[in-house]
Structure 1
């Protein structure tokens, strides 16, 4: 608690006394603030001096070192040691967190106890972390990293042979697209995938917002990336990426972040230094890596379009992913807004039926306010969204294919079967259509054509730079000069200027220690503190106004320049053409789909009580349009206590999917077949129907269309709605 909060005044001491009190407080805070900046500089140098710097809040054990692979990379797989009060269940699927390499060092996914790793371990899951070293291996590529991560996942799977399901993989920010690319190439390695704050559709957005998507076009494309890489001697300084993030919110970068420490220096120093340890841990990328990212993803937007190929000719098609995909984004995220996190779904699929045709399950959730970094480091987000995803990952894994939105309702005394829901929230997966995503905003055809034009201009400018300028830049850039320029980067320089190497800061530590012993904070009701806060707000308002003007101007320039029919025609874009259509379904997939449909139809009249129970449960549940975690927990308990041979989770998932598709393909035939598949035992049929009824009632009262469908299932099972009666179900029980 702040010392200021402990200071009380019986009465107003007068304006002169208040001024003296404030000046003393202000002077002391200024010295303490400089000491915090000094500590930040010292911390920065100590962090960079570490061989494998990270900010994980856990003990780790090295499992695999990517530097020793045939194609070496600067990545490693580590096992997270659980805290003393956490017990892991070896049969629960492991979680693997992949950290973003976006200019900062590794560890953000386990930055705090309340983190993605923390909540997963609390749910009993073994946890692993894929991080990286500050310096890339010469010659490593994005494809090399993806294949290395595939090897890491193979090792995790081998370490957990008894786990029910493949690893759940979390990709934060830039790691999200890397995980999705790997999952499209090697889908068999993955359980559910969680992509948090990850930009997958880089052109997507709405006018008046998301100005970062215009940056590539306004800079003339990716030639500048190549120039900075050449000036870095073949390495790209990640500090430039961090600077892009900081420029998005100048009021926070230039004022609020530092002012908050100055104004509350007695309480905020530790939290500030903890965050700056990660924020200032700048790392480097190879020129080839960053060029791929900018050309193929940021400017080219080729991932969602299915236009990226591996070195052996494989197309990176996100529709090949077979694992459920959970997309977590926020309206408060100005780096990866919901449109960029979800737009790839519109780029790839015509409708939900096409999503189902690929056997795909996509679950998304949209936070209302949290910012980009809050998705990974906010304790409130970890305790709610990430905790619910971790606790209900098996629920997500067995969801029937389709598009869902995850919603969360706080538990209360009125929550039915509250013990069936883990944590303090009840998670529901509600059925959605592509129109729900379109409602968040999307580009017009004209705007999409502008981005296509910007991508063409980028290709032309990059080719010109490589032909006429790059040879000269490379020839004059010695490694020592590149390192000198890297150290002069403004973001790096701000840490060094306040370090102990600066003679002006050497006396600050001693003065700060003396001030702490004689600290005299001003009273909270001091009028000059109110004046200080008012001034701070005016600075923030001015910087925000400048940001809004800058963003509006940038958008207008981009739209005007790349909307020019003359420029479009000059770079080979037809000003009257429609934007490129979504990737077509391949003939190979269509043949496989036709074969699968025939196979499923042939299975409609095969099975037993278990098949009928799942078929009936799905038929009634479809009327609700959502799946509640309490119903899945009730079903899980039934599965674990099954009197016959117990199904594994993958077997149960297969059963659910097959019955779901049968109902979609041939609803009447699927229902009419139930009486033929049921056992003759009245007791077994009663038990089967009771399970259906109990699972459905675990989350909500059965009413309306659901109740009508349940009565239909009761007739097919030859029982009444209470599960009583014993007339054998026969052919007279026909589906309407």
Structure 2
């Protein structure tokens, strides 16, 4: 009987009964439609894994290099993203290369929809390339071999864009982030700016009461379990275990919320859910050597930031060798890569900001307040804000003077000054920071460092024992057929298979779902039983979250107690009274090189012309504000265009900015005093350059306070009479993009 024909006598109970009947009809239909979505998910999974090169890229792609054909074959490939018809690409702009994470699931997440890393980079006019991978590794494939292959890929991209105004910007997500950082430290000449999103680089870092995943290695006894899992896979590690570890961090979402969200919004949520599940269910494999390197050297060993990873040719991986600007994007809502793990490598590598500058390094970080780990790469909102701003302002980031900055974003509105200079809906600023700003986020105490060092030693002991006493006979016992059976029986794969059309019972579900869709009658939003359903869901989530919190508190207490034992520490060679420090001193070779560089720069302070003088003056005045605004860099392009003769390349301009910045840093009084010697005798040229400086400075805010004082000082150095300079600097107007500074 249909609801419109149902007649119930009046009275309070009649309304409740009607609501109950309405809810039961809706709940029954939703249940059937939900099961059918699960069937479609299973069928989608089977189709996806049956492909030779499964991925979730929304865009068409053209194969450029197949890693399987290299002298050292790997299962990686470089493709060029074919832009949609409505997107115009400027081939002279620097290319973007997105490297997807190989952390258990398949490739494509960097471009699986329009509002993605690839999508916003192309919208900004950049040619885009993508480095993805196949489900199974090549025999003998290692992390080092992959790094060499990716170097070949980036060299190829550079050869395809010889006239590009800058080296490729490389985006490394999660696992790909630390892989890109390793490669950039070994081959720094290949890279433009690096964007490292959600990538753990300091694996021990964190704060008590949060992020218990860092304790897992110690609680499991170290990396012997990784070796065991690989041996049971006949030399391959099933990436589904990594995905399951991720899901275990949020049981309320894994066991309830994700499915309940589809069930409760069954009429609108199916497509979004299936789109994500196509990527999330595409599990891939790693060679035993690959995963053992990752766990031993990174997760448990924490050797990356410490500079203790050594390549086969004897070279040490030293992140201080990276010469490209590094953009670190992390989130307080990320329980897989919290801000401490994303940023504390900086504390391990540098004593202060001056040392960052001494290495010629530019580091920009931004911390989202709430987005989760996956949201850093897949959220449309994040793509349209942070990633879009990084793409649009990559040249700003590339020419920033060395130092440490935090990128902040302010919504563009009607009152935004010089809004014509703002690309997109946000104004990006890079504000100067110190290492104390990173320390303020919290971190390990010396006692915690000793605990993790002890866990590392225990891991090495257990792994050695496993490799000697268990591994030899287990390898002989496990056959490829046994490994394949275990692979297929993994719980994450079974959940897809059991609900696919291979299950004969799901044919009935399909037919029932078609009928339910035809007769669909959604319940009214004010139905009391629907409200009760929502309340039950919240209680389930609360119960699962409480269980998770108690388990995390227990695991932390166990780790701190066991590995904090002075007796255990002493037994494995850790001094229980020591104050460990992971920070490395500057090498004698680098210090010698630095001294030569300083002497060279000081000797050339009085050399140059109008271009050098204008930039030096601009840096001097602008540094009083302690930040750089995207509007200022847009205006700064006027100096590149209008002053100093032939147009400079971005690389030449970047070098000039850095030289003038360091000259001011080394001897500000002499650098300022030398400005008049650099200026031409032509007062019109001087006046035009000073006007350009004013326009750049006023592009983002009025010139007031210390900046105004410095600007008046520059007016004097430029030979403008006191009255003219005073009048000009007291009446600075916002930058007019249509004005011509000449």
The reply to whether residue 164 of structure 1 matches residue 150 of structure 2 is no
SS of the aligned residue for 2:472 comes to helix
Query: What is the TM-score normalised by the length of structure 2?
Result: 0.95
SS of the aligned residue for 2:505 comes to helix
The reply to whether residue 304 of structure 1 matches residue 300 of structure 2 is no
The reply to whether residue 345 of structure 1 matches residue 379 of structure 2 is no
Distance 1:308 1:510 in 2: 58
Equivalent residue number for residue 6 of structure 2 = none
Equivalent residue number for residue 228 of structure 1 = 229
Give the direction of change, closer, same or farther, for the CA distance of 1:723–1:240 in structure 2 (3 Å limit).
Answer: farther
Q: How many residues align?
A: 718
The reply to whether residue 24 of structure 1 matches residue 25 of structure 2 is yes
Equivalent residue number for residue 714 of structure 2 = 713
Distance 1:482 1:724 in 2: 79
Query: What is the TM-score normalised by the length of structure 1?
Result: 0.96
Equivalent residue number for residue 107 of structure 1 = 108
Find runs of 4+ consecutive structure 1 residues off by over 3 angstroms: 720-726
Equivalent residue number for residue 247 of structure 1 = 248
**Equivalent residues of 1:76, 1:131 under 8 A apart:** yes
Equivalent residue number for residue 276 of structure 2 = 275
Give the direction of change, closer, same or farther, for the CA distance of 1:724–1:551 in structure 2 (3 Å limit).
Answer: closer
The reply to whether residue 414 of structure 1 matches residue 415 of structure 2 is yes
Cα shift readout 1:514-538 (whole Å, capped 9, x = no counterpart): 1111112211111111111111110
Equivalent residue number for residue 427 of structure 2 = 426
Q: How many Å apart are 1:722 and its aligned residue?
A: 8.3
Q: How many Å apart are 1:638 and its aligned residue?
A: 3.1
SS of the aligned residue for 1:303 comes to coil
Equivalent residue number for residue 84 of structure 1 = 85
Q: How many Å apart are 1:720 and its aligned residue?
A: 4.5
Equivalent residue number for residue 535 of structure 2 = 534
Q: How many Å apart are 1:643 and its aligned residue?
A: 6.2
Give the direction of change, closer, same or farther, for the CA distance of 1:710–1:256 in structure 2 (3 Å limit).
Answer: same
Equivalent residue number for residue 356 of structure 1 = 357
Q: How many Å apart are 1:725 and its aligned residue?
A: 11
Cα shift readout 1:319-349 (whole Å, capped 9, x = no counterpart): 0000000000011111100000001001110
Equivalent residue number for residue 238 of structure 1 = 239
Equivalent residue number for residue 685 of structure 1 = 686
Distance 1:268 1:697 in 2: 48
Distance 2:541 2:507 in 1: 32
SS of the aligned residue for 2:64 comes to strand
Cα shift readout 1:360-397 (whole Å, capped 9, x = no counterpart): 00000001111111111111111111011000000000
Equivalent residue number for residue 204 of structure 1 = 205
Distance 2:506 2:18 in 1: 31
Q: Which moved more, 1:19-28 or 1:652-661?
A: 19-28
Equivalent residue number for residue 653 of structure 1 = 654
Q: How many Å apart are 1:27 and its aligned residue?
A: 1.1
Q: How many Å apart are 1:723 and its aligned residue?
A: 6.0
1:325-336 aligned within 5 A: 325-336=326-337
Equivalent residue number for residue 179 of structure 2 = 178
Equivalent residue number for residue 401 of structure 2 = 400
Q: How many Å apart are 1:588 and its aligned residue?
A: 1.3
Distance 1:724 1:179 in 2: 49
Equivalent residue number for residue 734 of structure 2 = none
Q: How many Å apart are 1:67 and its aligned residue?
A: 0.3
Cα shift readout 1:648-680 (whole Å, capped 9, x = no counterpart): 100000000000000000111100111111110
In the alignment, structure 2 segments of 5+ residues that lack a partner are 4-10, 728-742
**Equivalent residues of 1:689, 1:723 under 8 A apart:** no
Distance 2:264 2:103 in 1: 31
Distance 1:723 1:294 in 2: 66
SS of the aligned residue for 1:414 comes to coil
Distance 2:514 2:461 in 1: 59
RMSD over aligned CA atoms reads 1.5
Distance 2:221 2:582 in 1: 25
Q: How many Å apart are 1:291 and its aligned residue?
A: 0.2
**Equivalent residues of 1:710, 1:721 under 8 A apart:** no
In the alignment, structure 1 segments of 5+ residues that lack a partner are 5-10, 727-736
Distance 2:636 2:231 in 1: 59
Distance 2:463 2:507 in 1: 47
Equivalent residue number for residue 193 of structure 1 = 194
1:557-572 aligned within 5 A: 557-572=558-573
Distance 1:676 1:386 in 2: 43
Q: Which moved more, 1:279-288 or 1:630-639?
A: 630-639
Equivalent residue number for residue 618 of structure 1 = 619
Q: How many Å apart are 1:196 and its aligned residue?
A: 0.3
Cα shift readout 1:252-282 (whole Å, capped 9, x = no counterpart): 0000000111111111111111110000000
Distance 2:205 2:635 in 1: 40
Equivalent residue number for residue 8 of structure 1 = none
Q: How many Å apart are 1:637 and its aligned residue?
A: 3.0
Q: How many Å apart are 1:580 and its aligned residue?
A: 3.5
Distance 1:440 1:671 in 2: 38
Q: Which moved more, 1:387-396 or 1:715-724?
A: 715-724
SS of the aligned residue for 1:267 comes to coil
**Equivalent residues of 1:686, 1:723 under 8 A apart:** no
Distance 2:111 2:68 in 1: 23
Equivalent residue number for residue 391 of structure 1 = 392
SS of the aligned residue for 2:315 comes to coil
Equivalent residue number for residue 472 of structure 1 = 473
Cα shift readout 1:414-449 (whole Å, capped 9, x = no counterpart): 111001111111111000000000000110010011
SS of the aligned residue for 2:205 comes to coil
SS of the aligned residue for 1:170 comes to strand
